[in-house]
Amino acid sequence: MSQRDLKEAFVSNLSGTSLQEVGLGTFISPLCLINRGLLLILYQQAKGTFPLPLPLISHLLLDFSVLVLPLVVSCTVLSGLLHQVIASLALVAACVFCCIRRTDGRPSTRHSKTTVGTFLLSHVQFNHVPFVTVFRVLVNVKTAISILAVDFSVFPRRYAKTETYGTGVMDFGVGAYVFANALVCPEARRKNISGSKMNHIKKQLLSVWPLVVLGMVRLVSVKMTDYQEHVTEYGVHWNFFFTLAIVRVVASTLLAILPVSQSWVCSLLISGIYQLTLETSGLKAFIVHNNDREKDFLHANKEGIFSVVGYVAIYMAGVQVGLYVMQPRSQVKEWLKVLLNLLLGSVVLYAALYTCQTLVEPVSRRLSNLPFFLWSVAQSMFFLSCLGIADMVLLFSKRTSGSHFVPSSWNLHEKQSDSNKKTGEIDRFCLLQAVSRNQLLFFLLANVMTGLTNSVVDTLGCSSSFSVCVLLTYMFMNCFVICGLHHCGITVKFW
């Protein structure tokens, strides 16, 4: 077999991991976020100054070490020790929090109930929702790690995309990426449609041209370089850029016609009718059957074309969650209620998923069926709520310590006027803000760097330690470029 065939076989015919392991891995990022914030608070208390010395380099190294490195090692050399990794991160957070309380020179609060009660009634900045931004960024970062890591043997095969049925970590990543885009779309942010609905639809058609161009560039480059392809992922000519473009146009058209507030009903109807079609027609057998790809474009790209239906359903559900989360609220207790409702919604959807998997069929990213829709939305809501809880922990720590300069995190409303300038300065050195500023560029850069790395490194023959070093170098280069652009105030957007 050629090297190309070996690499294709390496990512084919996989069955994924358990729902429990995917859910367990969710806790790593929020704990990393808490640790980064607590370390910054501790530094502010100890030194009384901020930002760190040589801020561009030092903040990048801190963010990379605390936010990115744990994600890389937890999906490679430490993938079999997730419980220990999570316990270690939680222990570090607890120790740093204790240090903050001991370092705090202010008189200790005697009545903890009063402190918590006052915190719940506190007002936060309501002009942005930090955990939504962090969710979108971390989905992007995890995607960047996975698309290269999957080519190394140190990356567990159970985390890679499944062939037909199963729940791989990368399967969730695709659904989460679509969900993340929906959270902040104009409809979710209640932006009014200017002009007629037809003009709005035309505008959306024009707005996705960068995705179409990127999809064409990827298609041409893959075919010209004879790069390895997992054909059953999207098809012979299709790729994820085309899926993102079609989903955006279809969803925008539906949202221009139907009430945005009822997008959850639309998402359930789309996914339910699609599942019914799969069960009562020959569509399922048509998609899964692999011996007819040379007939025409539809046969060659059936996975990519028909899976769009499921992704549209996920997008519509993401719009509904975005509508709810992005509502203006000020009090801490109101946001805690939001996080509780997100958790409750996730539990309900997981119960529906269990029923579907028992009575209908398992999760299938390839088919983008009803169980895949339920799993993607349920796990996304769970991840979003965990990041929100992490942000609340940081907000409480900032309130009790008197330190307020933690990037990509809420501030108390009464401190807003005092800290706006300083917070803006700190955000210039924040990796999360840098990726948020140029998310599509970061995704594109990761794809280009993945191709380059595969062309110069024998990914299948690398040792575990060398593989991790390559992955860390690759991620650091991506982060360094994106942070440099952010520090210079450059937003790469030409559409």
Between 434 and 120, name the one with better pLDDT: 434
- Report yes or no: 200 and 194 within 8 Å, Cβ to Cβ: yes
d(CA 28, CA 80): 14
Q: What is the sign, positive or negative, of the torsion defined by CA atoms of 276, 280, 282, 288?
A: positive
Q: Tell me which of 43-47, 102-106, 232-236 is least confident.
A: 102-106
Can you state the percent helix, strand and coil of the chain, rounding each to 5? 70, 0, 25
pLDDT at site 416: 52
Q: Report whether pLDDT(109) > 50.
A: no
Amino acid identity, residue 415?
K
- Percent of the chain residues past pLDDT 70, beyond the cut: 93
Quote the CA–CA distance of 316 and 251 in Å, as a whole number: 7
Q: What is the pLDDT of residues 274-286, one digit of tens each?
A: 999 999 999 999 9
Q: What is the pLDDT confidence band of residue 494, given thresholds at 50, 70 and 90?
A: low
132/325 Cα distance (integer angstroms)? 8
| Residue labelled with tokens 């999957």 | 150
Q: How far is CA 425 from CA 61, 177, 409, 419, in A?
A: 17, 29, 14, 10
The first and second tokens of residue 208, run together, are 């996705």
pLDDT at 106: 54
pLDDT (mean) for 326-352: 94
What token pair was written down for 288? 């899964």
- The pLDDT value recorded for residue 110 is 46
Please name the residues in contact with 469: beta carbons below 8 A apart, sequence gap of 6 or more.
Answer: none
377: helix, strand or coil: helix
The domain spans of the chain are 3-106+131-487
Whether the predicted pLDDT of 346 surpasses 60: yes
Q: Which of 98-102, 183-187, 331-335, 371-375 has the highest mean pLDDT?
A: 371-375
Burial of 281 (0-12, 13-18, 19+ CB in 10 A): exposed
Q: Which of 2-16, 139-153, 457-471 has the lowest mean pLDDT?
A: 2-16
Average pLDDT over residues 22-43: 95
How high is the pLDDT of residue 1? Answer: 65
Query: Residue 175: enclosing H or E segment and its boundaries?
Result: helix 169-183
Q: What is the mean pLDDT of residues 201-213?
A: 85
Per-residue pLDDT at 427 = 81
C-beta separation of 38 from 394 below 8 A? yes
Q: What is the torsion angle, in degrees rounded to the nearest 10, for the CA atoms of residue 441, residue 443, residue 444 and residue 450?
A: 140
396 Rama class: left (phi>0) / alpha (psi -120 to 50) / beta? alpha
> What is residue 112's predicted lDDT score, i.e. its pLDDT?
58
Query: Is the pLDDT at 38 greater than 60, yes or no?
Result: yes
The residue count of the chain comes to 495
Average pLDDT of the chain, as a whole number: 90
Lowest-pLDDT range, 155-159, 195-199, 215-219? 195-199
CA angle 429, 434, 440 (to 5 degrees): 170
Residue 399 has pLDDT above 90, yes or no: no
Give the integer Cα–Cα distance in Å for 263 and 285.
Answer: 30
The three-state DSSP-derived secondary structure of 122-158 is: CEECCCCCHHHHHHHHHHHHHHHHHHHHCCCCCCCHH
Cα–Cα separations (whole angstroms), residue 134 to 30, 139, 142, 352: 10, 8, 12, 27
Q: Where are the beta strands (DSSP E) in 302-417?
A: none
Question: Are the C-beta atoms of 367 and 310 separated by less than 8 Å?
Answer: yes
Q: Is 0.85 surpassed by the pTM of this model?
A: yes
Strands (E), 320-415: none
Q: Is the pLDDT of residue 114 over 70?
A: no
Q: What is the pLDDT of residue 193?
A: 64
Range list of H helices, 208-239? 209-225, 231-234
Spell 414-437 as b/e; 16+ CB within 10 A means b: ebbeebeeebeebbbbbbbbbbbb
Q: Tell me the CB-side half-sphere exposure of residue 221, using CA atoms within 13 A.
A: 13
What SS3 state is found at 331? strand
Q: Which residue has the higher pLDDT, 225 or 356?
A: 356
In whole angstroms, give the CA distance from residue 352 to residue 161. Answer: 23
